[in-house]
Structure formats: C-alpha cells, structure tokens
Structure 1
Amino acid sequence: MDTSAFWFVVVATMWGGTNPLLKRGSKGVERIREHNRIQQFLSELKFLFFNWKYLVPFCINQGGSVIYYLTLATADLSLAVPITNSLTFIFTSISGTLMGEKPPSRDTCFGMMLVVCGVALCVLDKV
C-alpha cells in the first residue's frame, strides 16, 4: 500500500473514531442560553473546553487533521479525498455501533462494502 494511502486510512480512523465521542461529549451544550450571541458563543466554548469528554476526542480528531495536512504535501489528491471522506463515514458507523448507537442497516453495510471496494480500486490504480 502507498504510504500516503496508509496515512489517509489512519486519518479516517482518527476522524471516524472520534465523531461519536464528540457527539456524546457535547451533550448539554444545547441547553446553554445567554442573552446575546457573543455571550452564547463564549458560554458554549467554555462548556466544551472544560469538558474532558469532549476535549480529548477533539484533540485526537485535530491530530488527524494535522496528519492529513502533512500527508497532503506529498500525496495524490485523487487518493486523499476518497480515502479519507469515505472511510471516515465507515469508521464513524463502526465506532458509533460499538458505543451503543443504532447499527447501520443491511443496505448501509452493503454500501460501505462497495465504498471499501471502490477505495481499494483507486489505491490499486495509483500503485
């Protein structure tokens, strides 16, 4: 496997694995009510920044963004976008299911399998 493709899979894993954790960690932010938009924004930011259940997955997610950015310097963009975007969806679905969210339907699983096959063909075409 191309080394950049490997790093894009790592990024997709980091992004997809943290998405359900970010969703879970941000619960409660919707209940914050302030008098104006600036106070609202600052209160929500404070809520998220001091909530370790949100902050830890956010840092991991942003670490994936740093790896993505660094890998883009030497990678083929025609691989970067399909690998990261499609596999992020798959890893989000898997990690969400492992965390107790509703599992994907049979049709969604079939679609994910087709996505993996398509990404594999893109990678093989570039090797």
Structure 2
Amino acid sequence: MIYHILSLISVGLLWGATNPFLKKGSKGIENIKAKTKLQKFSQEIQFLLKNPSNSIPLLLNQSGSLIYVLTLQNANLTMAVPIANALSFVFTAFAGYFLGEIHSKNTLFGSLLVIIGSSLLIYDKI
C-alpha cells in the first residue's frame, strides 16, 4: 500500500512539475510556417523533439505515465486516479509559482486544500 502511495505521489510530481517546463519549452512553435498541414505538423514535431528544453520535460512526463500504468495494475482505482490527478495539479501550481508564472496566494491555498483532501483519502484507505 505504501509503495502504491509513493508511486502515485511520484506520478503527480512527474506529471505536474513538468507542465510549466513543457509550456516554456514549446514557445516559438506558433512561428512555424509550412506549405501543407502535414509539413507543418512534421516541423512542429521536430521542433519539440529537438528542443532539449521541451524534450527532457516530455521524457520525464512520459516516465510518470509509465509509472502510473504500472501502479494501476495493483492499486485501488478509487484511490489511484484521484490522488495522481489531484497531485499533478498541486505540483503544477508549485512549479508555476517557483517559475514566476503563478502569483496568486489563493492558488497555493487551494493546493494546500487538495493536499489535505488527498491525505484524508489515503488515510481512509489505510
């Protein structure tokens, strides 16, 4: 049970903390021009994969998805899904706050409430 909880926390961390970095790393993609939609799509994919400030967070984000799938095989779904998703929002808010994208204290207060709610859910299942 503790292993599942730690796995879900790491999933939330990997999903959430990488979101602001993915947003930052994808800046400039809107400037890509091409003759056809297929060429534009191909150039956008190349832009995202060749840009380390996007590809590294993407790799970390996808490793969170791998951990999530492996954890879901044995974890209680009524606990796993809400915890991973709620904590991803919390870690997104914290990473955004530390990167200067979020300036509202209300967002951090809401994150605290989500942490309390997730903790109560874990406590109930234990």
Alignment of 1:2-81 (within 5 A): 2-81=2-81
Structure 2, gaps ≥5 residues long: none
Report the equivalent of 1:111: 110
Structure 1 CA distance, aligned partners of 2:86 and 2:54?
24
| Partner deviation per Cα, 1:85-116 (whole Å, 9 max, x = no partner) | 1111110111111122132x233233222211
CA contact under 8 A between 2:93 and 2:108: conserved in structure 1?
no
Deviation at 1:14? 0.9
Q: Which runs of 4+ in 1 moved over 4 A?
A: none
Structure 1 residues 98 and 110: alpha-carbon distance in aligned structure 2, compared to 1, 3 A threshold? closer
User: Greater CA deviation, 21-30 or 33-42?
Assistant: 33-42
Structure 1 CA distance, aligned partners of 2:98 and 2:107?
16
State the superposition RMSD in angstroms: 1.3
Percent sequence identity is 44
Amino acid at match of 2:92: T
Alignment of 1:76-115 (within 5 A): 76-103=76-103, 105-115=104-114
Structure 2 CA distance, aligned partners of 1:98 and 1:113?
16
Structure 1, gaps ≥5 residues long: none
CA contact under 8 A between 1:20 and 1:92: conserved in structure 2?
yes
Number of residues of Structure 1 aligned to a counterpart in Structure 2: 126
Deviation at 1:33? 1.5
CA contact under 8 A between 1:16 and 1:88: conserved in structure 2?
yes
Structure 1 CA distance, aligned partners of 2:47 and 2:107?
34
CA contact under 8 A between 2:94 and 2:108: conserved in structure 1?
no
